[in-house]
Amino acid sequence: MSTPPPAAPLVRARNLTVDFVGGARPVRAVAGVDLSLAAGEVVALLGESGSGKSVTLRALMRLLPEKRARIGGSITVDGRDVAALGRRELARFRGGTVAMIFQEPGLAFDPVYRVGDQIAEAVVRHERVSRKAGRARALELFERVRIPSAETRLDNYPHEMSGGMRQRAMIALALACRPKVLLADEPTTALDATVQIQILLLLRELQREFGLAVIFVTHDIGVATEVADRIAVMYAGRIVERGDCRDVIRAAAHPYTRGLLASRADHVFTRGTRLATIPGAPPDLGALPPGCAFAPRCAQAVPACEAGVPEERPASATHVARCILLRPPAQADAGATAAA
Amino acid sequence: MLAFTLRRLIYVTPVAIGVTVVCFLLVHITPGDPLTAILPADATLELQEQMKAAYGFDKPLPVQYGLWFWKVLHGDLGHSIATGRPVATEVLRAVKNTLILATVATLIGFTFGTLFGFVAGYFRDSWLDKLASFVSVLGVSVPHYWLGMVLVIIFSAQLGWLPPTGAGPDGSGDWRPDAAHLRYIILPAVTMSVIPMGVIARTVRALVGDILSQDFVEALRAKGMSEFGVFRHVVTNAAPTALAVMGLQLGYLLGGSILIETVFSWPGSGFLLNAAIFQRDLPLLQGTILILAMFFVMLNLAVDVLQTALDPRIKRG
């Protein structure tokens, strides 16, 4: 990340907001996210449940229910304004330019269609080829994601596959129409530990081979460091810290990121040691505080934290954080702001 | 699939035998001796004993059942007391008419029920949903004999478009698929279709809502499927349950059409059952109920087999 990304990033979200309306009161799930992604780059979106990471991902593909979700800000993917896409363009865009891998492969396949047919269906739709050609592509992909006896597995129904195999099939489906951007929504969360690693390695391998840009949503710091070039930590709908993967982990600047790192189980194998936790609970997204959303749970909070949403301030040469305890941007060196 | 069907057929056997036992006992649990209906009031004791022996009523119950069951297996359901004709012939003719009426009614009900159900499920909470739901609730709750009479008043008495009663122009008891007979089936079939329409619409609406909220629908959109493509998947997912409900509704209509058949004088099993009850024609009653119950059992079997064929998740093993 020493060289800045090319002038036009593949994915760029500016001041992205998502409000869910229709409930008792509107809920702001995403509250001003800026995100950019260059071709071939992997960004991990890290955060706990309800921090807005999955919603951000869905907003990039316009997958949120249009009646209930109000999307603000701007999203450009591959030079096109996502909000302005017509119905047909949107259908071509989904799966063709941007593809998604879902958290629960067991639920993301239609239970009454054969897995191979579901992949072939996408190929037929996007490339206007015959069903036979679609099946051939599906077989090719099954072999590429290393599903054993691929030929017979194509005819399986989703419930006839194991969790790991279903996720491999899901990856095959996502890659079916050669997308440029892959959105992975906690793709390993539903799998057990040994399978998780296999899937991560496979994803990384395929990402390099196809030069994919990947946004990888996870709540697992270990997974994030395994796959990502850059990390963006989300809290209550905002990115509170972002930058080069190693620097964010090694020199975490935001108290929330530090809390997350401290609460990992890796260090507490000694009997009797208590696992460090972040006190309190995530904030109510329907009634966010005017200032830093983390302030009520933060041990270092000062009265000024509640004054307004903190600006991004440089935390190291390659990463920034939204915390007023850091030096203001004017005093920082110019190189840091170019990061992320 | 064949092995599965055969196994289901074997599972059904005890149910079928149970049905015959209940039908047989029907004669013996109804108040009054079955013979009093055919014997003159002043019959001598000797004559009564003779008749008992002739009908086999002097033997113990299990033996009587065995003899009766043996005859049933050979298609002999006895003779109607009122007409003296074989029960089997009478019942099968009536069942055929009922089957035609129930099938036409179910098809009408299924067509409109799925239509309303899909519209309501897809446009949940819109005015279309409310309209479709209102019509389907009306279908379930309106007394159908009342609806039948209202339709007769409008379309037969007032407008004179359709005949009010019977199955055909010649007044005979057989419905045939031709233009003249078609006019006779419209009113009873439409009246009858209102029940399955309501039930199927409610079921399909709930099904569609449930399917649309599942993750795979989002995944289908994420891979760029059109709304029509998504709709195809929804239909395939809804089909097994919708067909099962349709099959059960057909079963209910086969047995539960007494009121409608009476209103329209449709020569079906309900009409026959009604006559048998009022004339205390026990062999006829017994035969009709037996055959209707068997139809219901077989229909359930067919629905089971069909559902397995449609839904790969139901294990065939």
What DSSP string runs through A115-183? HHHHHHHHHHHHH---HHHHHHHHHHHHHHTT-TTHHHHTT--GGGS-HHHHHHHHHHHHHTT--SEEE
DSSP-derived 3-state class of residue B74: coil
Q: Which chain B residues contact residue A102 at CB under 8 A?
A: 215, 218-219, 222
pLDDT confidence of residue A339: 44
The answer to whether B225 faces chain A, any CB pair under 8 Å, is yes
DSSP-derived 3-state class of residue A15: strand
How many domains is chain A built from? 1
pLDDT confidence of residue A44: 93
Query: Which comes out higher in pLDDT, residue A259 or B165?
Result: A259
DSSP A265: G
Task: Report the range of poorest mean pLDDT among A75-79, A203-207, A302-306.
Answer: A302-306
Position B45, amino acid? L
- Confidence at A15, pLDDT banded by 50, 70, 90: very high
C-beta atoms of A94 and B223 within 8 A: yes
Give domain status of residue A329, yes or no: yes
C-beta atoms of B222 and A92 within 8 A: no
DSSP-derived 3-state class of residue A103: coil
Give domain status of residue A338, yes or no: yes
Cα–chain center distance at A162: 24
Paired strand residues for A36: A12
Give domain status of residue A334, yes or no: yes
Mean pLDDT (chain A, rounded): 86
pLDDT confidence of residue A300: 86
DSSP-derived 3-state class of residue B313: coil
- Residue A330, pLDDT > 60, answer no
pLDDT confidence of residue A67: 84
- CB of A23 closer than 8 Å to CB of A226: no
pLDDT confidence of residue B84: 79
Give domain status of residue A305, yes or no: yes
- The overall longest dimension of chain A from CA atoms, in Å, is 66
- CB of B247 closer than 8 Å to CB of B299: yes
- CB of B272 closer than 8 Å to CB of B90: yes
Give domain status of residue A274, yes or no: no
The answer to whether B218 faces chain A, any CB pair under 8 Å, is yes
Task: Report the range of poorest mean pLDDT among A46-55, A109-118, B17-26, B301-310.
Answer: B301-310
C-beta atoms of A63 and B218 within 8 A: yes
Paired strand residues for A185: A217
pLDDT tens digits along A172-214? 999 998 999 999 999 888 888 888 888 999 999 999 999 999 9
Q: Report the distance separating Cα A254 and Cα A46, nearest Å.
A: 13
pLDDT tens digits along B182-240? 778 888 888 888 888 989 999 999 999 999 988 999 999 999 898 899 999 999 999 88
Q: Report the distance separating Cα B298 and Cα B310, nearest Å.
A: 18
pLDDT confidence of residue B37: 63
Q: Which domain holds residue A259?
A: 254-267+289-340
Question: What is the DSSP annotation of B7-48?
Answer: HHHHHHHHHHHHHHHHHHHHHHHSSS-TTTTTS-TT--HHHH
Q: Which residues of chain B have pLDDT under 70?
A: 30-38, 55, 171-173, 255-256, 315-317
CA distance B233 to chain A (A): 8
The answer to whether B18 faces chain A, any CB pair under 8 Å, is no
pLDDT confidence of residue A335: 45
pLDDT confidence of residue A143: 92
pLDDT confidence of residue A270: 67
A137-A143-A145 Cα angle (round to 5): 105
pLDDT confidence of residue B171: 64
Residue ranges per structural domain of chain B: 2-73, 87-310
- CB of B215 closer than 8 Å to CB of A102: yes
Give domain status of residue A327, yes or no: yes
CA distance A100 to chain B (A): 7
Give domain status of residue A303, yes or no: yes
C-beta atoms of A95 and B215 within 8 A: no
Mean pLDDT (chain B, rounded): 83
- The complex's ipTM works out to 0.85
CB neighbour list of residue B250: distance below 8 Å, 6 or more residues apart? B102, B103, B106, B196, B299
- Residue A170, pLDDT > 90, answer yes
The reported pTM is 0.77
The answer to whether B26 faces chain A, any CB pair under 8 Å, is no
- Confidence at A340, pLDDT banded by 50, 70, 90: very low
The dotted CATH code for B87-310 is 1.10.3720.10
